[in-house]
Amino acid sequence: MNDTTEKVAVCPGSYDPVTNGHLDIITRASRTFDRVVVGVVNQPIRKKKTLFTADERIAFIENATAELGNVEVRAFYTLLVEFARDMGANAIVKGLRAISDFEYENEMAQLNYKLDPGVESIYVFARPEYSFLSSTGVKEMATFNGDIGDLVPAEVAAALADRLGRS
């Protein structure tokens, strides 16, 4: 699996689509951990059908993190703590934007701790320029031709325009 001194984190999410805020959290985690596994939820429970397939979302993240040598991207279909264990992770890293994120994430952290106290939940505060940013908001802006160029990687902006039939 991995040697006991290696610090491995999982950064889970639906990433539909990945935003610059997500990429900031992944990049910051990559500076702290020896290895970061970005876990792309195949089909999120809390959300309806995704706009992009898991393979498309994985490709977007792989392209955006290509310069980060200790980041890998994988889809997962299980409980998060099971995925973390399978990846040899001792931490789950997520971003927090607002109080509403805290309330939900606190509940998830407690449930994950109950399932596996050996996998620590670590939260990173969003930088101010990303504190409002969500995949849902980006999709809504893109639907009405809003400028999302500084919110997502260029490849994602183009794919959103194409998928939503916008120019």
Would residue 49 show up in a list of annotated catalytic residues for this protein?
no
* Active-site hit among 22, 57, 85, 94: 22
* Active-site hit among 28, 74, 97, 163: 97
| pLDDT of res. 115 | 96
Is 159 part of any domain?
no
* Active-site hit among 31, 46, 48, 49: 48
Residues 6+ apart with CB under 8 A from 164: 139, 142, 143
Read off φ and ψ for residue 122, nearest 5 degrees.
-125, 130
pTM of the predicted structure, to 2 decimals: 0.92
Would residue 134 show up in a list of annotated catalytic residues for this protein?
no
* Active-site hit among 14, 30, 121, 135: 135
Q: What is the pLDDT along the chain (167 residues), one digit of tens a residue?
A: 455 689 999 999 999 999 999 999 999 999 999 999 999 998 767 667 899 999 999 999 999 999 999 999 999 999 999 999 999 999 999 999 988 889 899 999 999 999 999 999 999 999 999 999 999 999 999 999 999 999 999 999 999 999 987 65
Is 142 part of any domain?
no
Is 81 part of any domain?
yes
| pLDDT of res. 46 | 64
DSSP, collapsed to helix, strand or coil, labels residue 73 as strand
| pLDDT of res. 133 | 94
Would residue 135 show up in a list of annotated catalytic residues for this protein?
yes
How far is it, in rounded angstroms, from Cα 49 to Cα 40?
14
Is 147 part of any domain?
no
| pLDDT of res. 166 | 62
The answer to whether 126 and 96 are in contact (CB under 8 A) is yes
What total number of domains does the chain contain?
Answer: 1
- Containing structural domain, residue 67: 8-128
| pLDDT of res. 5 | 83
Is 18 part of any domain?
yes
Would residue 35 show up in a list of annotated catalytic residues for this protein?
no
Is 39 part of any domain?
yes
Q: What is the domain-level CATH number for residue 39?
A: 3.40.50.620
Is 158 part of any domain?
no
Is 155 part of any domain?
no
